[in-house]
Amino acid sequence: ELPIGRLSTKKDGARAAPAPAYPATRMRRNRRHDWTRRLVAENTLTAGDLIWPVFIKDGTNEAEPIASMPGVERLTIDLLVERATEARDLGIPVIALFPATDPRLKTDDGDEALNPDNLVCRGVRALKAALPDIGVLCDVALDPYTSHGQDGLLRDGHVVNDASVEVLVQQSLNQVEAGCDIIAPSDMMDGRIGAIRTALEQAGHVDVALMAYAAKYASAFYGPFRDAVGSTGNLGKGDKRTYQMDPANGDEALREVALDIAEGADMVMVKPGMPYLDICTRVKQRFGVPTFAYQVSGEYAMLAGAAERGWLDGERAMMESLLGFKRAGCDGVLSYFAVEAARVLKGG
């Protein structure tokens, strides 16, 4: 079929002027007005799609800017509750907590992760007490607590799997006992979803959800996060390539997701987000489970940094990047832009 139509030529014997070509299909009709564009829009972003990650720190009434994440601050717990109230009022369903742990509390084995009174547990309790109708998500990994900045236990310079899983199970139980609703293991140890699920069931925590960081890549885009939780210096020249995924791989992500679902994950996550939208689409199409992307700190930094310099229209780039996750098939997004985006969605 020809994409180009032709106007009929004169039949009266006169020499017809050359027939002008016209497009048989005018795609632009549906783009003509704001109302046509809204009518045919295939995807929408709502505040209900957003999970807001927040960095917390000790002290009171103090917000500390994070240089590599313009616009993001570490919050003391009292300020966390204040800002979370706005997030709740804007319709954001879940807040994810990340602790900037006092360096003096960091040890080789990250024992502070198991302290029932650690920063994260205090944050969870404060949030649940003040705002019982917002979900609280806690990351599971040892990197905010270890002196070496790795997510698991280090033995002879190697992050060991099974012993790390045992500690991660304890860390999960500790956070759940503080009131956490969603446990999100980001450590990438093998078998941890199954081990955590079993422990939760045995302890009677049958309603706690597991959101697996199922396809988590060894990415350069986590740099600003490591500044935010103060693990950059701890990790030094180390990296996480023996447990986080190789950015070259796609099929492997599907195996990771299949395992996590089989082990009891309720929701899965792809991380980072924007460079891995193909993975989001494949995961959603293959498994049809609730699928989330984490638009990570480095993605935030790129957009917010460029916007700060006036190189991008920050608001439009933010909204476009978030809608992209929905189009790729994600059910929701963890994003440091969550509150700002929810304000835009509300029209404020």
| Active-site residue list | 216, 271
Does residue 225 touch ligand PBG according to CB under 6 A? yes
* Sign of the torsion angle spanned by Cα atoms 149, 154, 157, 161: negative
Task: Report which DSSP code applies to 120.
Answer: H
In the bound state with ligand PBG, the residue whose beta carbon lies nearer, of 113 and 134, is 113
Nearest residue by C-beta to ligand PBG? 225
The interface region with ligand PBG, picked from 58-66, 138-146, 259-267, 281-289 by CB under 6 A, is 138-146
Does residue 141 touch ligand PBG according to CB under 6 A? yes
Q: How far apart (Å, rounded) are the C-alpha atoms in residues 220 and 240?
A: 11
Reduced to 3 states, what is the DSSP secondary structure of residue 238? coil
CA nearest 225: which of 240, 210, 212, 215?
A: 240
Which of 49, 109, 139, 256 touches ligand PBG (CB under 6 A)?
Answer: 139
In the bound state with ligand PBG, the residue whose beta carbon lies nearer, of 83 and 130, is 83
Least distance (Å) from ligand PBG to the CB of residue 264?
Answer: 20
Does residue 186 touch ligand PBG according to CB under 6 A? yes
In the bound state with ligand PBG, the residue whose beta carbon lies nearer, of 226 and 326, is 226
CA nearest 168: which of 185, 150, 180?
A: 185
Q: How far apart (Å, rounded) are the C-alpha atoms in residues 262 and 193?
A: 9
In the bound state with ligand PBG, the residue whose beta carbon lies nearer, of 126 and 141, is 141
In the bound state with ligand PBG, the residue whose beta carbon lies nearer, of 232 and 281, is 232
Sorted by sequence, the CB contacts under 8 Å of residue 32 that are 6+ apart come out as none
Largest distance between two CA atoms of the chain? 96
Q: How far apart (Å, rounded) are the C-alpha atoms in residues 336 and 52?
A: 6
The encoded tokens of residue 210 equal 């597991």
The interface region with ligand PBG, picked from 117-125, 139-147, 157-165, 192-200 by CB under 6 A, is 139-147
Give the interface size with ligand PBG as a residue count (CB under 6 A): 11
The encoded tokens of residue 332 equal 């929701």
One symbol per residue from 286 to 305: x for binding ligand PBG (CB under 6 A), - otherwise; what is it?
----------xx--------
One symbol per residue from 62 to 101: x for binding ligand PBG (CB under 6 A), - otherwise; what is it?
----------------------------------------
Sorted by sequence, the CB contacts under 8 Å of residue 100 that are 6+ apart come out as 55, 56, 57, 74, 119, 144, 228, 229, 230
The interface region with ligand PBG, picked from 110-118, 222-230, 280-288, 321-329 by CB under 6 A, is 222-230
Buried b (16+ CB within 10 A) or exposed e, 78-92: ebbbebbeebbebeb
Site of interaction with ligand PBG (CB under 6 A): 139, 141, 143, 151, 186, 222, 225-226, 240, 296-297
